[in-house]
């Protein structure tokens, strides 16, 4: 266990803003670590592996264009406003799926959503050898409404809270997803993305 923690610490010290990402356990007892810079890592007792995975597109390039034009207060870096919040390996019917929660910028409406996407793992897929492009992900759900940026230096502050994903023991159809600083908790169907609010913090 100590060697596992040492490997995890090494990732945290050598990657940017890991604290803003997510962490989960794999079926074989390793750690799957997601950082804000869109890196996905496997950590075990002997090594740390950066997986060949492109995460879903979050609109960072469009947001950066608007930031370069001076929009959204004094913010200069899109990566400071868009984050990949959590990752888990969910049971999805008879399959397993990687599920990722993240903040997404929508250029057409100039607004932000909390978004959930999945990638269905092929049967017998070994995570070490996985290769995923940003086009391989399936959009599951986007929280509504699409939020306009605040008129200050923190345009997406409210979206930075929440974003965690979990699944009830034995469930193969749904995940539980927390959204936003109003602490909504949603139950999301993995087959079609339908969701319902099951709890609200305030």
Per-residue pLDDT tens digits for 77-136: 666 667 888 999 999 999 999 999 998 988 888 888 899 999 999 998 889 999 999 999
Q: Specify the pLDDT at position 157.
A: 46
pLDDT, tens only, 14-58:
544 344 478 899 988 899 999 876 789 998 878 888 999 999 999
pLDDT band at 1 (very low <50, low <70, confident <90, very high): very low
pLDDT value at 11 more than 70: no
CB count within 10 Å of CB 2 equals 7
Q: Specify the pLDDT at position 112.
A: 86
Residues 60, 72, 102, CA angle at the centre, nearest 5°?
35
Q: Which residue has the higher pLDDT, 73 or 11?
A: 73
Candidate from 62-66, 106-110, 166-170, 176-180 with smallest mean pLDDT: 62-66
pLDDT value at 188 more than 90: yes
Residue among 161, 197, 129 at smallest CA distance from 20:
161
Residue given tokens 């397993």 in the structure block: 96
The separation between CA 181 and the C-alpha centre of its own chain, rounded to angstroms, equals 16
pLDDT value at 170 more than 70: yes
pLDDT value at 139 more than 60: yes
Q: Which residue has the higher pLDDT, 8 or 135?
A: 135
Query: Average pLDDT of the chain?
Result: 81
Residues 13, 17, 20, CA angle at the centre, nearest 5°?
125
**Which residues, 6 or more positions from 88, have their beta carbon under 8 angstroms from its beta carbon?**
22, 24, 98, 99, 165, 166, 167, 175
Q: Specify the pLDDT at position 179.
A: 87
CB count within 10 Å of CB 36 equals 21
d(CA 126, CA 60) in angstroms, rounded, equals 30
Strand partners, 195: 188
Terminal Cα-to-Cα distance of the chain (whole angstroms): 39
> What are the two backbone dihedrals, phi and then psi, of residue 137, each rounded to the nearest 5 degrees?
-80, 150
Q: Specify the pLDDT at position 154.
A: 55
């Amino acid at each position: 266990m100590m060697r596992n923690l040492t490997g995890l610490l090494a990732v945290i010290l050598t990657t940017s803003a890991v604290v803003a990402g997510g962490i989960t356990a794999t079926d074989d007892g390793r750690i799957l670590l997601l950082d804000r810079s869109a890196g996905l890592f496997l950590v075990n007792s002997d090594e740390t592996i950066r997986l060949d995975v492109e995460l879903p597109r979050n609109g960072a390039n469009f947001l950066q264009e608007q930031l370069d034009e001076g929009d959204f207060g004094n913010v200069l870096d899109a990566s400071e406003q868009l984050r990949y919040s959590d990752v888990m390996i969910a049971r999805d019917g008879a399959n397993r799926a990687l599920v990722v929660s993240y903040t997404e910028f929508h250029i057409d409406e100039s607004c932000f959503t909390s978004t959930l996407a999945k990638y269905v793992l092929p049967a017998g897929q070994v995570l070490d050898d996985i290769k995923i492009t940003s086009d391989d992900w399936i959009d599951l759900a986007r929280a509504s409404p699409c939020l306009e940026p605040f008129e200050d230096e923190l345009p997406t502050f409210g979206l930075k809270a929440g974003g965690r994903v979990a699944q009830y023991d034995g469930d193969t159809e749904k995940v539980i997803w927390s959204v936003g600083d109003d602490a909504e908790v949603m139950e999301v169907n993995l087959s079609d993305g339908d969701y319902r609010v099951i709890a609200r913090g305030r």
